[in-house]
Structure 1
């Protein structure tokens, strides 16, 4: 596990760095290799939604064995640390983390889906213990759905829930806390003040702040979820429309596969 442990330490250091960790989410081996080839890329993160869509599943419905096999293929195809989106842990987050580590993955996002706090904390503890048992300092970016699943609650209450859960997850051994949602500067400051500078992870949705703006507010990591795949599929559909209209493959198309 030496190589895996080294990659985990590298990923943890990227979270600790003053610069925000920018990860462009990938969904298969060829997308991973294309992004890994860029000099700006420091680590890779899979998009669970995108992998599920690749296999014809709705988000969160892909079987664990398919997900683990696929993220393992991605990890084996690149030299960079790979963090995987492992949905909600598939009913046994500790075992899921163990399987992911065995496949070469060194970090993960795991959702709380607003389960009771004690249950969610126990899930974080199980993931951390799995990494310790495998000799890998597994980098958990513990996700709280306090905003995206908070329903009609006022934003202030959702943010307070996110802070409470985030602190609890850090105390249980998580490296950072992922709070998806469109976060403006004020909401981001509330999360960073409550959870900690360098401990909050966000998603770069349309309408959100830029990575540099989040960095200035003390955010540790920004990712983009299923959006890179949507951009790629938009390009695919657009070129197909052009070809059907008697177009040609655009000049400058790079041989990335």
Structure 2
């Protein structure tokens, strides 16, 4: 079974929800893979932070290079968050993902030039072009940014999700959707739904029970790791101060 086929199958069981840790570099990817997770999903914000950029400011070449390093470090399928596609054509985007070794991708429906939601039919057309170029070699997770952009409209979220599913998306990601709505969204859209773990929100298991088939973390795991590093730095500083 190919990497994309393996990743696609994981969205449908038998062990759901599919929990995909978000590595930000090769070292963190190896830790998660060695822990037994069957696949990984890079977060654009986490990778950006590891490279010294603000979220959304990472040059495409550096993002794809980071994804390639992560892929080389592990022997499990890797999905890459490539934001809105960096202005690449569908052919270029699919080629860059293939060169990096990624077998899945996130594509969001926020227009990076304006920060506003894209027209859903235009986004669906774009997703259909990516699907046509990739065939079955790419698992497409279509991010729906309605809730992120303050559009608290379940019907609009479902409408976008259905259009993206018809365009060939394997999964939809209504980022920051209220957890109690996950079941309604999954039923209305008809394909697996991705939910994100937030610091004060439900656990991965709870999100699965609410209707999510796929669980990701955004940059949350990086933030936890950096908090641990900050603790180590503080302890080291205290030790040095005591010795002085």
Asked if TM exceeds 0.5, the reply is: yes
Deviation at 1:182, TM superposition (A): 5.2
CA RMSD of aligned residues (A): 1.7
Corresponding residue for 2:68?
72
**CA–CA separation in structure 2 for the residues paired with 1:147 and 1:227:** 19
Deviations 1:126-165 (A, max 9, x none): 2212212xxx531001001010013xx4x3x2x2221111
- Is the contact made by 1:46 and 1:84 (CA closer than 8 Å) also made in structure 2? yes
In structure 1, C-alpha distance between the alignment counterparts of 2:79 and 2:9, rounded to whole Å: 14
The reply to whether residue 44 of structure 1 matches residue 47 of structure 2 is no
Is contact 2:183–2:212 with CA below 8 Å preserved after alignment?
Answer: no
Query: What's 1:214 paired with?
Result: 207
Alignment partner of 1:192 is 2:186? yes
Give the whole-Å Cα distance in 2 for the aligned partners of 1:228 and 1:140: 22
CA offsets per residue over residues 77-123 of structure 1, 9 Å max, x none? 21100000001111125122321112210001111112111221122
Question: The residue matched to 1:245 in structure 2 has which SS?
Answer: helix
Q: How much does 1:24 deviate? A: 1.2
Question: What SS class does the counterpart of residue 169 from structure 2 fall into?
Answer: coil
Deviations 1:47-84 (CA, angstroms, capped at 9, x unpaired): 11011112221111111111111101111121100000
1:21 equivalenced with 2:14 (yes/no): no
CA distance in 2: counterparts of 1:195 and 1:72, whole angstroms: 32
Rate the CA distance shift 1:92–1:119 in 2: closer, same or farther, 3 A.
Answer: farther
Which residues of structure 2 form unaligned runs of 5+?
Answer: 111-116
Question: Does the aligned pair in 2 maintain the 1:101–1:131 contact within 8 Å?
Answer: no
Q: How many residues align?
A: 233
Residue 224 of structure 1: aligned partner: 217
1:137 aligns with 2:137: yes
Contact preservation (8 Å) 2:4, 2:139: yes
Task: Find the residue that maps to 1:178 and give its secondary structure.
Answer: strand
Q: Given the alignment, which residue of 107, 114, 119 partners 1:116?
A: 119
Other-structure match for 2:238: 245
Secondary structure at the aligned position of 1:16 is classed as coil
